[in-house]
Structure 1
Amino acid sequence: MRLSMLSRLYLVVLLIALCACATLFWFSSLTLNMTILVTLSILIGSFILARFFLSDFRSGIEALELGMLNIKDGEFSTSLSYQKEDEFGRLCSLYNETVEQLRKEKHWLYQRELLLDKVTQSSPDVLFLTDNEGILVFSNIAARDFFGSSAGIEGASIYDLAKNAPNGFDDVIDSMKEGLFTLTPNEQEQQTWHISKGSFSLNNHPHILFILKQMTRELSRQEVAVWKKVIRVISHELNNSLGPISSMIHSGKILTKGSEDERLSRVFSTIDERIKHLSEFVQGYGKFAKLPEPKIQAIDWQPMLTQLSAHWQFTFDTSVSATVHVDPVQIEQLLINLLKNAHESGSDREKISILFKQINRQSIIEVSDRGQGMADGVLSSALIPFYSTKSSGSGLGLALCREITDAHHGHIALQNREGGGVTVRVVLPNLV
């Protein structure tokens, strides 16, 4: 049996006392019984004195042992009460200072964990962590939404979860490649995403962190920015040319005033008419390139539709009463463009409709018709500036709708309907 340090000190004291008493048996004139009695008395007295003088040693040892047990259990809120001015007192004081520092660091780490969790959970990017076998050990809210789960998905296999993800994600996970990829969510337009991953060791086990970022809106924003720059350059050059031409035509009319040549008059009239048309054309593109920031305000949905129905024929649910926070001028322009396209699609006017609903703090507007529909190539290019299938179209109607939607931090999508026709779906967040 292994003795404690305190027990060994007691034993040393007793052995020293016993050695000192051994001389009594050889040099003392006391009887044997008296010698044994004196020896026992000395041993007992030595033990009592040793216990008295080593009491602080025992208290210090017990205090330090209790403190180390607390550290082992991860408990840093308890301080040692040993306050005597000796070596153990200094050790206990140093222990208390160390525990206080550890307590502060633990609190700081806890606050960092809370902050990190808050940032990751509120991030719009899809974040999830897997072990080397593909089992999820962490995911944020965006990841759970991405995989179509309302509850926690920790402990599930990424390969099983990929089956519930948007179409195309399972191929991305199988290939384990980084970069851009496309997904096709149900009943939505194709989306562009970017995936990146990082490998690191957690608790001496390899893990992989996946970060998925929705790039559709960013790419669309950059694309629109490029188109706007092109439009501004073209508008500037055209305006620089149209001004002098218009002035020359005016001068030509003055110089030929009184001439009876009808051909010359027709030439001037035709040039003047084309200049006006071109000026209106440039102004339309300039309106797209310089769309102002939306002035958000609360408006009633029904009065807006009632006002539009005075100029455009369409059906809508008159029982839906809601308040939306949008720029009324821009949203009215968006609806006018969509209704104009619907009426020019060849659809019967009574089959053109506007559906409005609010779901999860989002306002959803759907403008539907029963026209000829669109080919897949047209659907994918309809929102691009300058693109139009109409001989007299400017290609700005739907592009302006997308610009207005983006300015409201929403998104727009086109989809063919079963039985013919197109539905344009506009989703706007409640900006309050």
Structure 2
Amino acid sequence: MSQISHISLRVKLIASCVSSVAMGLLLAFALQLWLARTAVITKAFFEPQSLYLVIFICCLLLVAWLSFLATRRLDTSLQALELGLLNFKDNDFSVSIPVSGNGQLRALAELFNESAQTLRKERQYIYQRELLLDKVIQSSPNVMLLLDDEQRIIYANDAARHLFNNGLRIEGMSLEKLLQEVPQELVSALNNPKDGLFSLSNDADNSDIETWHLSRGQFLLNGQFHHLVLLKQMTRELNRQEVAVWKKVIRIISHELNNSVAPIASMVNSGRVITKELNDPKLKLIFDTIEDRSSHLSQFIFNYARFAKLPLPNKTCVDWQTLTEQLKQHYQFELLGEFPQRPVSFDVIQMEQVLLNLLKNAHESGSDLDRISLEIRESSLSDPTQGLCIEVKDAGVGMSADVLSQALLPFYSTKQSGTGLGLPLCREIIEAHDGRISLHNRDEKGLCVSLWLPST
């Protein structure tokens, strides 16, 4: 039986046809012999031509019946294979066909089922990858728009929906309609065919300006051109690179100055010892002046070095009551509103330094002390990311547009004795906590400094 199963289907079909024809011929020969013996009876009922026709029809029916029996299993297998291939054509890979028949039919059925299983796995893998890719794109902070050749939006991620339409769905809208409610700077950038950087203001007085990078791509899909628009927020990255450059410069200058200040201080002490017996008031004044300026320069270098070597935040859960009481020991202010109920963790020492700097600036702004306020409230971004907002407000003279645009840069100061590191240090601490800082003039009078910190 195993040897028969190894015979090819073609050989079996040829053998079946030969067997059927042979059986038909044997039947015809047997009928002819039988009719020849009963010639008298046969002549009574049939003419010779009719007799041969009857023999021919009987043989034909026998051959057809034998062929039907021989090919019945083949027909069943081919019908199952045809049905399976039709399901493949309809992208349905869940079907499998029964494994039966001879060796070749069985091998063909097994191959079909293995192909169906492989295609099912590939389809599931592709589906999982599509879900993962969509999750990554939707979670990306970069704005992504996919347009067809008619400038109609085919696909947009979550960041794009929040930037253009307050989080609402924008697929299917035309780009022209979408740009009707956005700032003119963004409209100009998107209408410009070139890639590059552009600035986008978030408020009326241009105190909070963000830098974005626009890039485009084009590809052919299903015979149609598609256009990909990517918008990336570059403000924080540029700020980090800028601060990194400043820190490197500060470290180099601090190192060189320390190498000079230390020998000077040592020589002053040696000079005092050598000239002690002279008791000359002029020498004492010279040594005191050198020592005082050396000490001042050392303190100056220390302040800059602290900015250049700011440690990573050590986050702990904050007690708002304790923190505000400690702040009030240094500066007077009015506490507005209630403390947030959601727990927040950050470096309390660094955050206290930030708030002390801001309160110090508020006291030096010319504002009445009773109009300096501190407010801490829960807040969320447009993405929406949960967090809290800390605002320090005063009623001083405020800042001009030029000062607002440069206030967070290192070494920039409008004070005669200022180092220009107070607000940059605040920004560095806040951004190390994944937050952001912004300054804007109040509507009535004074300045408002806003700190936003994530809840996590």
TM-score computed with the length of structure 2 as normaliser:
0.85
Cα shift readout 1:257-293 (whole Å, capped 9, x = no counterpart)? 2445433322222222222211111111111111110
* Pairwise CA distance, 1:223: 0.5
Q: Quick one: distance in 1 between partners of 2:128 and 2:252?
A: 52
* Pairwise CA distance, 1:67: 0.5
Q: Quick one: distance in 2 between partners of 1:424 and 1:324?
A: 20
Is 1:130–1:209's contact at 8 Å kept on the other side of the alignment? yes
Match for 1:404: what amino acid?
Answer: I
- The 5 A counterparts of 1:38-187 are 38-186=55-203
Moved more, 159-168 or 305-314: 159-168
The residue that corresponds to 1:3 in the other structure is: none
Quick one: which of 302, 325, 336 aligns to 1:317?
Answer: 336
Q: Secondary structure at the match of 1:213?
A: strand
The residue that corresponds to 2:358 in the other structure is: 338
The residue that corresponds to 1:248 in the other structure is: 267
Is 1:63–1:82's contact at 8 Å kept on the other side of the alignment? no
Is 1:167–1:184's contact at 8 Å kept on the other side of the alignment? no
Q: Quick one: distance in 2 between partners of 1:223 and 1:115?
A: 35
* Pairwise CA distance, 1:39: 4.9
Please tell me the root mean square deviation across aligned C-alpha atoms, in Å: 2.7
Q: Quick one: distance in 2 between partners of 1:317 and 1:370?
A: 15
Quick one: which of 306, 325, 339 aligns to 1:287?
Answer: 306
Cα shift readout 1:225-244 (whole Å, capped 9, x = no counterpart)? 11111111111111111111
Q: Secondary structure at the match of 1:363?
A: strand
The residue that corresponds to 2:286 in the other structure is: 267
* Pairwise CA distance, 1:119: 1.4
Unpaired runs of 5+ residues, structure 2, are 1-16, 381-385
Is 2:93–2:117's contact at 8 Å kept on the other side of the alignment? yes
- The 5 A counterparts of 1:381-392 are 381-392=406-417
Moved more, 214-223 or 114-123: 114-123
The residue that corresponds to 1:4 in the other structure is: none
Matched, 1:417 2:442: yes
Matched, 1:367 2:392: yes
Percent identity (aligned): 45
The residue that corresponds to 1:6 in the other structure is: none
Provide the aligned length of Structure 1 versus Structure 2: 417
Quick one: which of 171, 195, 219 aligns to 1:200?
Answer: 219
**Would you identify which runs of 4 or more consecutive aligned residues in structure 1 move more than 6 Å?**
none
Which of the pair has more CA radius of gyration?
A: 2
Q: Secondary structure at the match of 1:239?
A: helix
* Pairwise CA distance, 1:162: 2.6
Q: Quick one: distance in 1 between partners of 2:334 and 2:238?
A: 35
Q: Quick one: distance in 1 between partners of 2:314 and 2:56?
A: 103
Is 2:337–2:376's contact at 8 Å kept on the other side of the alignment? no
Moved more, 46-55 or 34-43: 34-43
TM-score computed with the length of structure 1 as normaliser:
0.89
Q: Quick one: distance in 2 between partners of 1:276 and 1:145?
A: 53
Cα shift readout 1:170-224 (whole Å, capped 9, x = no counterpart)? 1111112212111112466111111112211122211112221111001100100
